[in-house]
Structure 1
Amino acid sequence: MIDRRMFMTALAAALAPAPAALGATSAADSPLVKVVRSPDCGCCGAWIDHLREAGFVVDVTMSDDVAAFKEQHGVPQALWSCHTALVEGYLIEGHVPAEAIRALLDQRPEAAGLAVPGMPIGSPGMEMGDQTEPYDVIAWSASGTSVFAQY
């Protein structure tokens, strides 16, 4: 026999919103970012932490020849940084903020990917206290480059 407390608990559980309705995302709902990085680079690990904190699922491959991966996937040399990633068909080069990657995935522009060339101070993974420098997130395609976002 069910008492009143058991009935109310069961009813509350049945009527509670699902986690997705509350804004939570599961690993199955999060984009998978496949990162290729050098085992000797500390800032790559900090950028990966930034992505994970933003809800991305990250798969990391260590490589002693990240340049070969960049060349194989057609990342323009002028945009190179220390790590390269793939997410839902797009390339991500360097310290691109998670919010720019989300915007890319929401907007789905005709682009090969996004890049933050070099390693600007203040970009994700390159934090140095209060020091920051402005930087652009560059979108590129076969027809050229454009500024996707500015930070």
Structure 2
Amino acid sequence: MMKKLFLMLLVLLAQPAFAAINATLYKDPACGCCEEYVKYLEKNGFKVKAVNSSDMSTLKKQYGSAQLASCHTTRIGQYTVEGHVPVAAIHKLLKEKPQIAGISAPGMPKNSPGMGPEIKGTLKIYELGQSAEPKLFSIE
């Protein structure tokens, strides 16, 4: 009996503290900063499937990120995460589950993950949705 209990305890302790969050990142095959962002996500507990695409503009239109585009487009669950979005904003999105298409760090900000040293509190993250004007989601 004690042996079975001990084995069950070992199995439970061997399980990860949290399940990895699955993400599919679409990128141009020649983009180096996209690879850096993949590493950033993986370092922060995401399981990333990187997919090379030669038609990123069609993907961005399909997933609702064309107006606030960056170099890569990531799908996490039902949401689109466009560009070099910090994981804090992604976790906020997944926790709050707002009725939006996703979030974006448009362009290629130098202070964002994968683009250079991340400077917290300086990066504006916008909602992807129906609004004609960009709506602020968070500042990370």
Tell me the TM-score normalized by structure 1: 0.78
Equivalent residue for 2:17?
24
How much has 1:80 moved relative to structure 2?
A: 0.6
Letter matched to residue 32 of structure 2: G
Letter matched to residue 142 of structure 1: Q
How much has 1:72 moved relative to structure 2?
A: 2.3
Equivalent residue for 2:114?
125
Alignment RMSD: 2.6
Letter matched to residue 18 of structure 1: L
Taking only the aligned residue pairs, the percentage that are identical comes to: 35
Equivalent residue for 2:39?
49
Q: Which runs of 5+ in 2 are unaligned?
A: none
> After superposition, where does 1:48-67 map in structure 2 within 5 Å?
48-67=38-57
Larger Rg: 1
**CA distance in structure 2 between the aligned counterparts of 1:90 and 1:80, rounded to whole angstroms:** 15
Equivalent residue for 2:84?
95
Letter matched to residue 131 of structure 2: S
How much has 1:137 moved relative to structure 2?
A: 0.7
Paired residue total: 139
Tell me the TM-score normalized by structure 2: 0.84
CA contact (8 A) 1:121 1:132 kept: no
Equivalent residue for 1:146?
135
How much has 1:8 moved relative to structure 2?
A: 7.2
